[in-house]
Amino acid sequence: MVAVVWSVDCRLLLFGMATGEVHAYDTDGNFVLKLLMLCLNNAELEAETGVSVGMGRSEYLIVTLQWYAPTPAKEVTDSVSGEGSTPAPGNKREREPAEKQFALGIPDDRPRLAVVYQHGVMQMMRHESDTDPIIIQMEKMMIVSARWSPDGTMLAIAGNQLDLPDGERNVVHFITAYGEKLRTLKVPGRDIAGCSWEATGLRVCLAVDSHLFFANIRPDYKWGYCGQTVVYSYPRPEKNEHCVVFYDVKLEEMYVKSLRFLRAIASFGDYCTLINRADDPGGIYLLQLCNGIGTPVDFKYVDIDPVFVAMNSTEVLVASHDAFYLWHYVVPRKAIVEINKNLNKPRGDTIWHVDEVVQQESAAAGKQADVKKAFTV
For the chain, the three-class secondary structure string (H helix, E strand, C coil) is: CCEEEECCCCCEEEEECCCCCEEEEECCCCEEEECCCHHHCCHHHHHHCCCCCCCCHHHCCEEEEEECCCCCCCCCCCCCCCCCCCCCCCCCCCCCCHHHHCCCCCCCCCCCEEEEECCCEEEEECCCCCCCCEEEECCCEEEEEEEECCCCCEEEEEEEECCCCCCCCEEEEEEECCCCEEEEEECCCCCEEEEEECCCCCEEEEEECCEEEEEECCCCCCEEEECCEEEEEEEEHHHCEEEEEEEECCCCEEEEEEECCEEEEEEECCEEEEEEECCCCCCCEEEEEECCCCCEEEEEEECCCCCEEEECCCEEEEECCCEEEEEECCCHHHHHHHHHCCCCCCCCCEEEEHHHHHHHHCCCCCCCCCHHHCEEC
Average pLDDT of the chain is: 81
**In this predicted model, what pLDDT tens digit does every residue of 271-318 receive, in sequence order?**
999 999 887 666 789 999 999 999 999 999 998 889 999 999 999 999
User: May I ask the CATH class of domain 3-70+105-216?
Assistant: mainly beta
Annotated domain spans of the chain = 3-70+105-216, 223-347
Range in 46-50, 75-79, 106-110, 199-203 the model is least confident about: 75-79
How many of the other CB atoms lie within 10 Å of CB of 29?
7
pLDDT of residue 86: 43
Distance from C-alpha of 305 to C-alpha of 49, rounded to nearest angstrom: 30
Model confidence at 87: pLDDT above 70 = no
Euclidean distance between the first and the last CA atom of the chain, given in angstroms as a whole number: 56
Q: What type of residue sits at position 297? A: V
pLDDT tier at 76 (50, 70, 90 boundaries)?
very low
Distance from C-alpha of 279 to C-alpha of 237, rounded to nearest angstrom: 17
pLDDT of residue 239: 74
Range in 214-223, 287-296, 324-333 the model is least confident about: 324-333
pTM of the full predicted structure? 0.75
Distance from C-alpha of 105 to C-alpha of 234, rounded to nearest angstrom: 12
**In this predicted model, what pLDDT tens digit does every residue of 356-365 receive, in sequence order?**
654 444 444 4
pLDDT tier at 206 (50, 70, 90 boundaries)?
very high
Model confidence at 73: pLDDT above 90 = no
Between these two residues, 30 and 372, which has the higher pLDDT value?
30
Q: What type of residue sits at position 32? A: V
> What percentage of residues in the chain have a pLDDT greater than 70?
75
Beta strand pairing call for 170-176 and 154-161: antiparallel
pLDDT tier at 78 (50, 70, 90 boundaries)?
very low
Q: What type of residue sits at position 349? A: D
Q: What type of residue sits at position 10? A: C
